[in-house]
Every structure is written in structure tokens, then in C-alpha cells.
């Protein structure tokens, strides 16, 4: 039911509403003290333990709650007083859940854990208790904002803002005890779709009035409503461009409607030409977000958060940090991470993502006001399809609270809370390097997008090569990669501040793992690792698939009763599929590049 | 509404039931004489014209009908008596229409003309008059058998055989006046799905009894019922292999049930491993049908027709003739053609197919007892989506009646019946070579399957290269094509009798247009045409796309009022899409092979 170890689940359950002053529910060994004068900020707490009694002090109920969850994470022994405060006030999980089952995307877009926890075939879920469990689960990781519907707002979903706001209010009631506020994805065209106006132009006062009234009605039902999430002028969604307005114009209009009530707008920067002609080499999708947004720096209202995917393309296994996150100092920014494993094995593959996330956060944490993670949760009994994918959700919250946490330490924390000690070593063996392993057997050296079009699962090297999506690798018989230099390519490197603009520009300093993202090189180009590109491709693909085989074997050696026979079997099945798929990746990628380059494997291994 | 010229449509309409003895309805200039003693065989007729009076004589009503349709095709002037008899007694159109809309395939599988003429969202069509029009339309071409549902028989469709047979009877009533008998596609698993048995084993007497009773019930409702169409052990459809039985065992069981009533079984030979591993070079899909069926020659009952796709793969723009059609002398065979343009532009591209069909029929006509064509008809106002695609349906009937007809003459006949004289030259200019043009800009030299997976529209050179469907081109930096020789390849050439087995085996004698179907050759291999393979690819793709541009321009020069403004506009739209798509094909194919081969175009044209 959760990642929670049965023992911890029982304790968590007894908390009822964690963070209420008094004794930690049912646990005689803890005291929670609410002290508005203690000098701590919002949500912060001090925790200590002496003589077997844990004490949590905070200036608000949220702080007490986070402190009591912390208490549950503690091991034995005394603890000198420690103060913890969230690094970011906005710690967000966003759902891409549809209310109505979408004919192509299903109940949850890019969802790999069954149906939605919120919506069921057009209606609000009948299982609100599970929403409550989910709220507690998110709160225990530190999440304090959740959006409850897909950023692609279809016609039916648009009505959540108006006549169906009562259903959102019901969800908000379940989240409120856990100090989580609800966000709603809205359609920019709402004044037309819902309001009967003939325009959604931010410059039209009827439009502004409509949004103001809409916001007022929302807050009448949900006084602590968090705000709107907006995908505008992106992949077919409506937006301000239709009226010759900027994204700042559009976002600020919504912000003005929400400001009186303390709400905020999460305005996504995922804007690019999704009808590109593959023959057009002058357009580079990587440049798009920066080109659309950086010129607007300083123009967004205070209660707008521009929400930026962590890389310039789309949640690939390896991308450089988006230059938008480094290039808008006068704008509130959110970095968007993806727990749902759209491009990283779809929860059929084990891929512990925090090493990727912290590689991003180590660069951008000081530039952003919010960490947003796209949820990987569904109605699946294990919440996340792959039971071990729960660790990604857990870490999403923990890293939003403290981006400096070590991913291995967070994993260890999750293991402690979830499994018995005897399983720890096995889980680390499977999970610690699983992101690197996934990278090894899939698209090499940062080149990205060699997945099967549409469903994004499994290899298809040329699947996007002649498509309209702007995601190309340009492999020919001589070499591979995308020249994004200023000297000879698309100039994307120029969007970065120093030192990255030069580090990425030069073949001599560009990191190996991003080489093909920034450069088109011959197959015999020698990496900083000393290997040629082609041999690196062969080696990593053989190594990656072999590592999955080792993971599968290692899991088989774990006694099922340690983790429960059902969970053990579920993981076993997924690892078997991961091994099949990794071998398929290995063979397709290696065959593709052998056929193209003609360079044999130095070690004479079998390539088809 | 049909391919029929307005004037002819009016005359055809006045026929009411063509073929009734007496005067040609409403047309004082014709006499129809039924003379059972005239010495003519079934369906045959003698036609003559003198002094402005056309006389048709036949031994049966069907012959009079075909003769009266012939009369409508006549020009002016006297005609010495001619006798016409069908070359094949079985002239079949088969529909891939679903009763219930399929979630992926829609109402009509591989249908490009809107919904079904027979079924609408689970129910029998409410427009039975249109079924009557369609019957007349088919009869006027010579078709005398029609199947009314998809060969992929889903659960709902299976019930047409039993509780919904009444609806089939309603359709049969509409076809009967036109001497067309109805066929039904049935599920081999019917005894289980419909009959509640625990097996469909042909060796089980309960199963045989179930089929006998089912056939009896069908004939009680439809005394002239034609028989069953069966896709068994093919692409997931159930079949006799599940019980260790052969296709002959399966087909003969159904034949025995139908024999007392004069019915026949059309048993499809489209059987292959559709879960092939692309890494497995020992399996060749081209070999499959022959391997499954040729050993059974002589074992099929007399009222079984083994129905064989014209080529060994699947309706590609160019394939050799299926060796099954040349290798089962002791079996009744049907050749299966495809009017619905699954792989030939889906009725968005203009592609007059009879030149392809007669290239097949010239070889196999003497070996087959039936010509089967998969319908391209739907609820579209022009019947076939692309108005000019009607010509394919027209020719399907005419070539089944007489496979020796010249495709250009058949086209001319259709033009005469459909359009005014002033449009004739334009239509020939667009249509005569349209199949060759389509071949030019798509997969080269017989290699096939460079289409987008799933929907089969548009280019995707590697789309099937690493898939489970057994359709590969094996292009690498040195060359392209499938080695199917006995000497070094899959041995497929050995399935042919002389002279083909040697003609295809040798690079020196293999026809250029089939070279890559049979051989893997270097890009600089010189064709019999004198060009290298790579230059041939470039040249044909530039030429094909240019030809489509010329077609588009030629059509624009035709005065809309000559063909009707709506039809003119529909064709204009389709030609615009064909041009866009042809350019896309040209650029993807040329770019793919330039990137792989590194050989520049001898004429320096732009390749991306």
C-alpha cells in the first residue's frame, strides 16, 4: 500500500493527523510542542531525542508534522537538537491525470501505475480514503502542493475550474490535514470554452474579468487553493500567441486573478515548434524555451512561477541543464522533474532517478523557488507499478525539501522505512547505479530520443529521425550527433552563461556523457575516456544489458519472505522484462551503428 | 455516387433488375432473350447490334444481366455477334468491415472510404438501398460473390454466423437480384466462442456436428449462401494448429458442413510467424505460405478454395508472384488482390492498380479458379474516398471476368462510363502510369515495407527493420536487399518452378524491379538498366515526386465543370496531399541512402 515498512505504516497510521501538539499519537516516547515564539520559520522544526523521548518543536502545525515524520525516520539512540527547514517553500507534485479516459493516452497520460488516484472514467474517485493515504504519503516526504489533473486540459477536464470545482474541493479536504494545497491545471481558452466569450485575449477586459470571477468562485470553495498550472502555446494547447501577446501577458493575467487570494500560477516553459520539418536544419528545439522565455525575464508578476523542464528537450536519460534555469534571474522559476518514467523504462525498468535529479539540482537549486515532480502514482496496489519505483516518489519530496541531500542516502532512508535490514544490500546493489545502467543500454552520450515513437518504450533508433518533433541524431556512415556549437552548429551553446557556454562549445572540454548532445563527431572520435565513440557505444550496451542480467539474478537470490512473496514476484516479472528489453536495446543500437559505421567491435562480440 | 457517368447512371437506374427477359428497361433499342437451349454456359451471353437494336441472348438470367450491362458499355454503330463468358466462375469481392468499430482499426480495417456500407457501429446499416446500389455496381463489373465482414473475426462479429444470421440474410436479399451470393467470414473457434464447446478440434465429432448444424441453419435463412471465408492460424486468429491438425483438416471440416448445400470455403494461405525475432536470419516470411500449404496439395476437399495473396509478403507495390499459386496444381486456388490501397497510398494517392494485377494474372490466371479482391468501398459519397480509386474496383470485376483484358483498355472503359470525352486525355495522363509513379517514389526495386508501422501510410525506412513482422531490407553502409537465393540466402527462390527459380536466383537475369527482393547488393551494383542501384534510387525518387507535381498541375488545368466542381475539388485536395507525401518519400528515402552509402547524387540534386 505504500513504501512504508509494515512497522512504520502502523506507526504512521497511529499518527492520525501528525503534527497535532501533544504526544505523538500512540507513541509514548515523543512530545510535539507548538511554540509560535520559538524563532523557527514556516514548516521548520527542531528535533532532539534524550532518554528515549523524542521532542519536536515548531512554530506552526506544518513544522510539527514534518518533525513527527522525521521522528518516524529516526533510528535508535539519542539525538542532539537539530533544526530542519525546507530549502524551498514550494515542493510540488503534479499529476497528468485525465478525468475522462483519453482515447490514446488513457486515464493517466504517461502513467504506468494503472488508473488515476483522483479520477475514474469521468467521475471523482469513489475511493477518497486512498486519496487521504496518498496525502499522508506525500506529506511524509515533504511535498506541500499537488496538482490534480493533466496539463493537457481537454474539454471535459476544463470544467473542473467551474461547475466541477466541488470535486476539486473534496480532494482539497483530503489533502488539507497534511498541509498540502491543491493546484488545478487550467485551459488558457477557458473564457471561451467555459465562459462563452469569443476570445481569450489577455488584453480584453472581459477576459480578465472572467478569470477574476472564476478565481473568486474557486476560493469560495477552497480557501487555501494553491493556484493554476498552465501549459500554453505548447503541443497544441491554446495560449497568448493567438492574440499577439507574450507568455508574460498570459501568465500575469491569471496571476492578477489569483493574487487577492494568495494563489500562484505555474506557467510551463515547455514551448517549441512541434511541427518542425526534419529537413529544416536552422531550427533547434533545444533553443526554443530560452528563446521564448529569457527575453521576458523581469516581466512576470511576483506570483508567477515559470516552470522549466530540467533539460532543454524532454526528460531524456541524459541532458544538460536547461539554460532557461540559468538565464532568468529576475523571475521566479521552478525546475520540473519527471518521476513517471516516460523515457526511462516506464516502471517496467528499474531506474532510480535521484542521481540524475541531483546532478541538475546541484547546478540550479539556488536559481529556483520550487521543485516540481511529475507523479508516478496510480491506482496500482504498490502505488507505482514497479514497487521499487516508489523510491523515486519518496526522493522527489525529500530533494524538494533539501536539494543537497545525497541520492544514496535518500535511497538508504527509503530502504530503512520500507524493507527489513536483510534486504538492504540487495536493494542498493540493484538501485544505486540503475540510472547509469539504463543510460548504458539506451541512447548513447546524450544524443537522446532513440525510443519508439508515441509510446516511448523500447528502442527505435530512427523512430524520430524524420519526424516533426525536432529530436534528431543525424547519424550517417561517418558519424553521429547534433552540432549545437556557436562555431558551426545551431548556436545553442550560446544560451549558457560562462563557464558552460565554453565548456560545451569545445570538443576538448565537453563532458563525454553530453558529447553527442552538443557535437556531431566521427565514429572514431576519441572520448576523454580514451575510447572511440563507436567502441564506447558497443561497450556500454554490452555492459548495460549484462548489468540488468546481474540485477535479475541478484533479486532472484533474495528470499521472497523478506519482502513479501507478491512484491518479490512483481519485481521479478519486471526485471525479466527489463532484461529482455535491455538486450533488445543493446542489439538494435549496436546493429544500427555497426551497419552504419562498418567498424567492428574491438572485442568481437556478437552484433547482428 | 458511383463511377457511373450521370447519363449511364440514369440508364442503369432504369434497368431496375437488369437481365430480366424482354426489352432493356426503358431502352427501346435493346432486346434481351432468355434461351436455355442456346448452347451458352452459365453467365455467358451473346451480344450483337444491328439497325440500332442491341440483342442479348443467354441461357440464364445472369447471362442476360451481364449482357445488358455490356450493352450499356457499347458505343454507337453496329456490332457483329460476340459471345462472352467469364473466365472464372468465382469473381469475388471481400470486405474487411467490422460490425463493431474496432478501437484501433475502426469500422473498416484498412478502409479509406469512411464507414462500412454494411455495418454501422454494431448494427446493420439503416441504408439498405445503398447496399442495393452497391450490388448493382458490383454486378455491372462482373462480381458474383461478396463477403460482408472482416477476415479478422472479433467476438461480436463471430455472432453473424448464428443469432445475427438474419442480418446477413437481409444483405443477401439485396444482392440476390444481381446474381451475387454472400460469403461470411467466420472464426475457426466458433464452436467454442458460440457453441460453448471446450474445443474447436476438427477431429472432434461434436465440433464437426456443430459446424454441420450451423451451416444448416445458415442455409435455412439464405438458400444461395456462398460459403465461408477463413483466416486461420494467422496473425493471432485461431486455427487447426492448436489441435495438431493441418490447414487441410480445418478447411475440409468446414467444407463438409457446406457441401450438402453447395457452399464453399475460402481458406486463406496468409500464414506466417508474426512474432519473428529480427535477429533470426534463418526465418524468411516470404517462404511461409508455401511451407505451410504446398505440402498439403491434393488434400483439400473439392469445395475448398485456398486463397493466396498475389505476392509472398503482403500487397507491396512490387512483389514477385507467390510461389503457392504455381505450386499447388491439385488444389483449387484463388488469387487475392487488394483494391483498398493499404500500402499504395490509401486512396489519398492516385494509384491505378490493374497494371500490377495483370502482371500477376498473366502468370497465374490459368492456375486459379477464383479472383478475389479486397474492397476499397465505404460510405463515402464517391464510394472510394478518392473518386478516381473507383477505377480499381471497376477493374477488379472486369479482370476477374477476363484476366486477359488490357489494364489501359479497362481504364478507358471506366472513363467512358464515368466522365465526358473532354476529360479522357487528362484522366489517362494522370492514371495510366500512376502505379509506376507510386513505385518510383516509395520503396525501391522490390524491397518493400518502408512504410510507417501500424497505419502503413508514409515513409519510415527503418520502421519495420527491427520489428517482429519479418519484413526487413538489411540496408547497411555497403548495400541493401534481402538475399533469398539458394546459393547464399534463405533459399526462397527454390520454391519456384522453372524458369523463375533460376531467373530470380541469378543476378544476371533477376528483373531490376525485383532485384532487392531477391538479392543483397552493393550500392554501386549496376542494374540491367545501366544505372547503379544508388543512382537508380535517387533518379526514381526525384522522377516520381516530379511526376506527381505534373499530375497535380494537369488536374488543375481541367475545367471543374467537366467533372463536377465537388469531384474536381476532392481530387485536387488528394493530389495536393499526394504531392506533399511524395516529396516526403523522396526526401526520406534519398537522405536515408545518402547517409548510409555516402554516394552523392550524380546530378547534384538536393538531398538532406
Convert the pLDDT of each residue in B73-130 to its tens digit: 987 889 999 999 999 999 999 999 999 999 999 999 999 999 999 999 999 999 999 9
By C-alpha distance, the chain A residue nearest B599 is: A477
Q: Is the pLDDT of residue B313 over 60?
A: yes
Bin A262: left if φ > 0, else alpha if -120 < ψ < 50, else beta: left
Q: Is the pLDDT of residue B23 over 70?
A: no
> For the purposes of burial, counting CB atoms within 10 Å of the CB of A178, is it exposed (0-12), middle (13-18) or buried (19 or more)?
buried
Q: What is the mean pLDDT of chain A?
A: 95
Q: Is the pLDDT of residue B16 over 50?
A: no
pLDDT band for position B28 (cuts 50, 70, 90): low
Which uninterrupted H or E stretch holds B229? strand B227-230
Check CB contact under 8 Å for A459 and B466.
Answer: yes
pLDDT band for position A76 (cuts 50, 70, 90): confident
Catalytic: A235?
Answer: yes
Check CB contact under 8 Å for B477 and A598.
Answer: yes
How many angstroms from the chain centroid is the CA of residue B49?
34
DSSP line for B30-96: EEEEE-TTS---TT-EEEEEETTEEEEEESSHHHHHHHHHHHHH--SS-EEEEEE--S-SEEEEE--
Judging contacts by C-beta atoms under 8 Å, the chain B residues touching residue A452 are none
Check CB contact under 8 Å for B460 and A466.
Answer: yes
The cell numbers describing A309, all together, are 523542464
By C-alpha distance, the chain B residue nearest A466 is: B588
- How many angstroms separate the CA atoms of A523 and A480, rounded? 7
The confidence score (pLDDT) of residue A4 equals: 38
**The complex's ipTM?**
0.90
Range A437-451 average pLDDT: 98
By C-alpha distance, the chain B residue nearest A452 is: B463
Compute chain A's Rg from CA coordinates: 24
Q: What share of chain B is helix, strand, coil (3-state, %, to 5)?
A: 40, 15, 45
Task: Check A109, A314, A460, A513 and give the catalytic one.
Answer: A314
Q: Is the pLDDT of residue B22 over 90?
A: no
B279 and B318 Cβ atoms separated by less than 8 Å:
no
| Segment B452-474, tens digit of pLDDT | 999 999 999 999 999 999 999 99
Task: Check A16, A163, A198, A235 and give the catalytic one.
Answer: A235
Q: Cβ–Cβ contacts within 10 Å for residue B411, how many?
A: 25
- Percent of chain B clearing pLDDT 90 (strictly above): 93
- Comparing CA positions, the residue from B431, B438, B436, B468 lying closest to residue B453 is B468
Check CB contact under 8 Å for B466 and A477.
Answer: no
Judging contacts by C-beta atoms under 8 Å, the chain A residues touching residue B476 are 594-596, 598
The contact set of A with B (CB < 8 A) is: 278-279, 281, 459-462, 466, 475-478, 587-588, 591, 594-598, 608
Range B161-190 average pLDDT: 98
pLDDT band for position A5 (cuts 50, 70, 90): very low
Q: Is the pLDDT of residue B6 over 80?
A: no
The confidence score (pLDDT) of residue A290 equals: 98
> For the purposes of burial, counting CB atoms within 10 Å of the CB of B202, is it exposed (0-12), middle (13-18) or buried (19 or more)?
buried
- To test the contact with chain B by mutation, choose from A466, A545, A596, A599 the residue with the greatest count of B C-beta atoms within 10 A, namely A466
| Segment B444-455, tens digit of pLDDT | 999 999 999 999
| Segment A539-576, tens digit of pLDDT | 999 999 999 999 999 999 999 999 999 999 999 999 99
- Comparing CA positions, the residue from A465, A466, A607, A348 lying closest to residue B278 is A607
Residue B257 has phi, psi (to 5 degrees) of -70, -35
Nearest residue, CB atoms, B461 vs list A462, A475, A477? A462
- How many angstroms separate the CA atoms of B601 and B33, rounded? 65
Range B140-155 average pLDDT: 97
- Comparing CA positions, the residue from B214, B213, B167, B219 lying closest to residue B186 is B214
The confidence score (pLDDT) of residue A2 equals: 34
Q: Is the pLDDT of residue A87 over 60?
A: yes
Burial code (b: 16+ CB inside 10 Å, e: under 16) for B367-388 equals bbebbbbbbbbbbbebbbbbbb
A127 and A74 Cβ atoms separated by less than 8 Å:
no
The confidence score (pLDDT) of residue B27 equals: 53
Task: Tell me the catalytic residues of B.
Answer: 235, 314, 342
The cell numbers describing A14, all together, are 497511529
Range B359-381 average pLDDT: 97
pLDDT band for position A315 (cuts 50, 70, 90): very high
The confidence score (pLDDT) of residue B491 equals: 98
The confidence score (pLDDT) of residue B9 equals: 40
3-state SS string over B375-422? CCCCCCCCCCCCHHHHHHHHHHHHHHHCCCCCHHHHHHHHHHHHCCHH
The confidence score (pLDDT) of residue A23 equals: 52
Nearest residue, CB atoms, B608 vs list A279, A475, A598? A279
Helix, coil or strand: residue A262: coil
| Segment A448-502, tens digit of pLDDT | 999 999 999 999 999 999 999 999 999 999 999 999 999 999 999 999 999 999 9
A542-to-A536, A582, A588, B280 alpha-carbon distances in Å: 10, 9, 12, 19
pLDDT band for position B13 (cuts 50, 70, 90): very low
Judging contacts by C-beta atoms under 8 Å, the chain A residues touching residue B595 are 475-477, 596
Provide the 8-state DSSP code for A532. Answer: B
Q: Is the pLDDT of residue A6 over 50?
A: no
The confidence score (pLDDT) of residue A21 equals: 59
- Comparing CA positions, the residue from B142, B162, B126, B127 lying closest to residue B44 is B142
The confidence score (pLDDT) of residue A7 equals: 41
Check CB contact under 8 Å for A475 and B595.
Answer: yes
pLDDT band for position A30 (cuts 50, 70, 90): confident
- How many angstroms separate the CA atoms of A459 and A449, rounded? 9
Q: Is the pLDDT of residue B589 over 90?
A: yes
- How many angstroms separate the CA atoms of B464 and B473, rounded? 9
Residue B147 has phi, psi (to 5 degrees) of -95, 145
- Comparing CA positions, the residue from B250, B244, B206, B259 lying closest to residue B232 is B250
Q: What is the mean pLDDT of chain B?
A: 95
A212 and A156 Cβ atoms separated by less than 8 Å:
no
Q: Is the pLDDT of residue B542 over 90?
A: yes
B289 and B308 Cβ atoms separated by less than 8 Å:
yes
By C-alpha distance, the chain B residue nearest A587 is: B279
Q: Is the pLDDT of residue B2 over 80?
A: no
Q: Please enumerate in sequence order all residues whose Cβ is within 8 A of that of B32, keeping only pairs 6 or more positions apart, or say none.
A: B19, B20, B21, B22, B23, B24, B56, B58, B64, B67, B68
Q: Please give the model's pTM, rounded to 2 decimal places.
A: 0.93
Nearest residue, CB atoms, A466 vs list B278, B466, B588? B588
Nearest residue, CB atoms, B462 vs list A461, A476, A597? A461
Q: If you count residue pairs, one on A and one on B, with CB atoms under 8 Å apart, how many are there? A: 46
The confidence score (pLDDT) of residue A31 equals: 87
B185 and B236 Cβ atoms separated by less than 8 Å:
no
- How many angstroms separate the CA atoms of A513 and A518, rounded? 10
- Percent of chain B clearing pLDDT 70 (strictly above): 95
- Comparing CA positions, the residue from A188, A193, A333 lying closest to residue A257 is A188
Amino acid at each position: 500500500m505504500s513504501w512504508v515498512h509494515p512497522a512504520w505504516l502502523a506507526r504512521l497510521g497511529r499518527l492520525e493527523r501528525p503534527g497535532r501538539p501533544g504526544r505523538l499519537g500512540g507513541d509514548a516516547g515523543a512530545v510535539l510542542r507548538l511554540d509560535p515564539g520559538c524563532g523557527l520559520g514556516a514548516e521548520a522544526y527542531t528535533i532532539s531525542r534524550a532518554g528515549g523521548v523524542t521532542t519536536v518543536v515548531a512554530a506552526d502545525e506544518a513544522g510539527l508534522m514534518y518533525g513527527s515524520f522525521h521522528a518516524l525516520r529516526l533510528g535508535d539512540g539519542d539525538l542532539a537538537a537539530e533544526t530542519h527547514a525546507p530549502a524551498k517553500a514550494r515542493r510540488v507534485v503534479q499529476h497528468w491525470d485525465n478525468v475522462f479516459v483519453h482515447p490514446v493516452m488513457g486515464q493517466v497520460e504517461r502513467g504506468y501505475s494503472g488508473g488515476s488516484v483522483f479520477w475514474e472514467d469521468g467521475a471523482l474517485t469513489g475511493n477518497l480514503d486512498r486519496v487521504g493515504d496518498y496525502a499522508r504519503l506525500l506529506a511524509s516526504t515533504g511535498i506541500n502542493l499537488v496538482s490534480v489533473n493533466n496539463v493537457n486540459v481537454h474539454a471535459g477536464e476544463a470544467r473542473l475550474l467551474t461547475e466541477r470545482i466541488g470535486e476539486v474541493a473534496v480532494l482539497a479536504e483530503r489533502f488539507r490535514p497534511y498541509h498540502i494545497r491543491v493546484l488545478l491545471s487550467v485551459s488558457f481558452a477557458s473564457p471561451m470554452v467555459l465562459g462563452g466569450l469569443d476570445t481569450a485575449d489577455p488584453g480584453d477586459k472581459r477576459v480578465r474579468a472572467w478569470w477574476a470571477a472564476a478565481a473568486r468562485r474557486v476560493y469560495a470553495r477552497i480557501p487555501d487553493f494553491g493556484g493554476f498550472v498552465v501549459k500554453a502555446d505548447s503541443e497544441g494547447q491554446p495560449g497568448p500567441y493567438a492574440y499577439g501577446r507574450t507568455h508574460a501577458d498570459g501568465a500575469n493575467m491569471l496571476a492578477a486573478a489569483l493574487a487577492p487570494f494568495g494563489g500562484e500560477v505555474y506557467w510551463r516553459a515547455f514551448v517549441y515548434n512541434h511541427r518542425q520539418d526534419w529537413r529544416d536544419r536552422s531550427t533547434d528545439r533545444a533553443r526554443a524555451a530560452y528563446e521564448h522565455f529569457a527575453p521576458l525575464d523581469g516581466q512576470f508578476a511576483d506570483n508567477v512561477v515559470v516552470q522549466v523542464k530540467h533539460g532543454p528537450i524532454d526528460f531524456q536519460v541524459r541532458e544538460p541543464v536547461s539554460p532557461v534555469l540559468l538565464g532568468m534571474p529576475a523571475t521566479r522559476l521552478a525546475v520540473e522533474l519527471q518521476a513517471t518514467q516516460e523515457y526511462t523504462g516506464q516502471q517496467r525498468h528499474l531506474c532510480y532517478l535521484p542521481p540524475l535529479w541531483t546532478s541538475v539540482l546541484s547546478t540550479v537549486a539556488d536559481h529556483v523557488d520550487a521543485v516540481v515532480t511529475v507523479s508516478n502514482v496510480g491506482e496500482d496496489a504498490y502505488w507505482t507499478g514497479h514497487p521499487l519505483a516508489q523510491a523515486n516518489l519518496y526522493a522527489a519530496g525529500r530533494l524538494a525539501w533539501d536539494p543537497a541531500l545525497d541520492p544514496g542516502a535518500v535511497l538508504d532512508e527509503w530502504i530503512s522505512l520500507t524493507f527489513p535490514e536483510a534486504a538492504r544490500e540487495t536493494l542498493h546493489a540493484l538501485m544505486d547505479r540503475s540510472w547509469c545502467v539504463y543510460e548504458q543500454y539506451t541512447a548513447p552520450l546524450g544524443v537522446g530520443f532513440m525510443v519508439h515513437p508515441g509510446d516511448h518504450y523500447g528502442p527505435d533508433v530512427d523512430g524520430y529521425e524524420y519526424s516533426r518533433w525536432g529530436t534528431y541524431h543525424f547519424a550517417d556512415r561517418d558519424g553521429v550527433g547534433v552540432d549545437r556549437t556557436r562555431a558551426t552548429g545551431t548556436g545553442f551553446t550560446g544560451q549558457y552563461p560562462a563557464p558552460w557556454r565554453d565548456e560545451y562549445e569545445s570538443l576538448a572540454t565537453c563532458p563525454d556523457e553530453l558529447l553527442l548532445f552538443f557535437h556531431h563527431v566521427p565514429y572514431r572520435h576519441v572520448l576523454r575516456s580514451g575510447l572511440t565513440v563507436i567502441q564506447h557505444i558497443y561497450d556500454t550496451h554490452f555492459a548495460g544489458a549484462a548489468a540488468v542480467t546481474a540485477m535479475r539474478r541478484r533479486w532472484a537470490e533474495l528470499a521472497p519472505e523478506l519482502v513479501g512473496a507478491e512484491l518479490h514476484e512483481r519485481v521479478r516479472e519486471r526485471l525479466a522484462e527489463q532484461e529482455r528489453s535491455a538486450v533488445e536495446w543493446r542489439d538494435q543500437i549496436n546493429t544500427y551503428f555497426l551497419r552504419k559505421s562498418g567498424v567492428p567491435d574491438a572485442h568481437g562480440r556478437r552484433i547482428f
